[in-house]
A and B are shown apart, each in its own frame.
Chain A
């Protein structure tokens, strides 16, 4: 479990280009959470996840890991790095090894695992991100964009982090790639990684995968709670340049038009069920 309290961060402090990226953000990640982190462009999501991952010292605030309070971020950072695996935005830009296998093995190797364990981890991670076995001996630079993305994600997954954070992993993927990735994350959750944080612009992604949602706006954490609750506050979300999932808007429109559908629907499947129920009851 990770607890961050009153975190603040400013880029280029004291310069004319100074930019407050985080303003008094407190967030708790409990074991078993699947958190969707949402926010408009520039709201501070990437900054926040870097702080959670122990990569960026905040200017103010405290962190505690598994109940141990750290007065200094530097000490906490070591723990955080051990526990948290962060997949950056466009992670495919960090591949460097000669083969996919070696690239995925980079993390586990740094963890000083045994050769056998590394091999196990690499194959398991590749399987989990649905990379075909034949690709392992290829050069990562010869793969397609989507395949590279998977290799990069596998590189972090192979380290078996307790907390896996992905910064907009679905950006630039086609709808089926997106679905596959979300399915893959759901499978990883609980079984391979205790906690997952998914940063996304897409409400549909969050609705599909996450259990709770945290909403950032202008460097502040403005909402935090179960997905259903967050999506029931459509007007507030819209005032922040965000929105509810498309299907929720459609259902809301149908309700307004007089159909007695249930409220709080945010996946296509739930909407279909609800409409089917209505149709059956009418018969």
Chain B
């Protein structure tokens, strides 16, 4: 179960997508979301799907790593699917039983919603799969830095995120170790009723929290020892470089988004 969490999981390989500036990829994901949420006709969906497949191919990340991120949200997906299927009113009736009515419009909406969700998860997990946590937070920091003037603590936000991301694998490893240690002491996490099972979590959770606080404490001390005092005047070891390929990729995203928007506007004014 712990292994299914794709968040913050970096797939280390060499690909054009890995080599891109993290800022490009973050902006790209934002554009991608806009595209997904403006898409409404089959053709627009097909365009978005082609784009998704293309980017996945370019990333050289095996597909099973990308689909792994879908597992935790299967329930949510089924829920929206069912909800849309039965709750959509209008359209031609396909099927009627008791209070359940399925219309062709309902089927269409449900399928579109599901496809949209799948693409959303796959596209966004691609960001963390192709961008190391350090690069990712570096990118966020730079993108947020213009907002410093209005009081957004961009450096602190980025630092907090990078620490949190760094701690995910450490805490997962720690959890694994604690579970094993308590199993070796005869702890049983699998049987019993709900209350017993919740109680069985105590021997895992207490050491986990104690450990997390200990680590946080140690990290704070270590950072202070190295004279860390926030973002003021801090430079980066690895400067972000916006290269031609980044410009190209961003242009492609803008054009695609603009095309989608244009299609939508044309449809609204009734030309299409």
Contact = CB atoms under 8 A, between A and B. Distances in A.
- Do A and B associate with each other? yes
Interface of A: 16-17, 50, 53, 55-56, 81, 84-86, 88, 91, 93-96, 106-107, 110-111, 141, 155-156, 159
Contacts of A93: 174, 178, 207, 210-211
A53 B184 contact: yes
A96 B185 contact: no
Contacts of A88: 177, 180-181, 184
Contacts of A94: 178, 181-182, 203, 207
Nearest to B188: A110
Contact of A56 (B11, B180, B210): B180
Given A17-B12, A94-B207, A156 B185 contact: yes
A94 B182 CA distance: 8
A56 B174 CA distance: 15
Nearest to A12: B3
Interface in B184-235: 184-188, 202-203, 206-207, 210-211
A159 B181 CA distance: 13
A111 B186 CA distance: 7
B77 to A, nearest CB: 25
B13 interface: yes
Interface of B: 11-13, 174, 177-178, 180-188, 202-203, 206-207, 210-211
Given A88-B181, A96-B203, A107-B185, 16 more contacts: A16-B11, A16-B12, A53-B184, A55-B180, A81-B186, A86-B184, A93-B211, A96-B202, A96-B207, A106-B182, A106-B187, A107-B186, A111-B186, A141-B210, A156-B184, A156-B185
Contacts of A50: 180
Contact of A55 (B174, B183, B207, B211): B183
B178 to A, nearest CB: 6
A156 B178 CA distance: 14
B191 to A, nearest CB: 12
Nearest to B186: A110
Contacts of A85: 184-185
A93 B174 CA distance: 9
Contacts of A107: 185-186
B4 to A, nearest CB: 14
Contact of A155 (B13, B183, B185): B185
B167 to A, nearest CB: 15
Contacts of B186: 81, 106-107, 110-111, 159
A147 to B, nearest CB: 16
5 nearest A-B pairs in the assembled complex, by CB-CB distance: A110-B186, A96-B206, A107-B185, A86-B184, A55-B180
Contacts of B177: 88
27 contacts: A16-B13, A50-B180, A53-B184, A55-B183, A81-B183, A81-B186, A84-B184, A85-B185, A86-B181, A88-B180, A88-B181, A88-B184, A93-B178, A93-B210, A93-B211, A94-B203, A95-B210, A96-B207, A106-B182, A106-B185, A106-B187, A107-B186, A110-B186, A111-B186, A141-B210, A159-B185, A159-B186
B202 A91 contact: no
A95 B207 contact: yes
B187 A110 contact: yes
Nearest to A88: B181
A48 to B, nearest CB: 14
Contacts of A55: 180, 183-184
Nearest to A108: B186
Contacts of B12: 16-17
B133 to A, nearest CB: 15
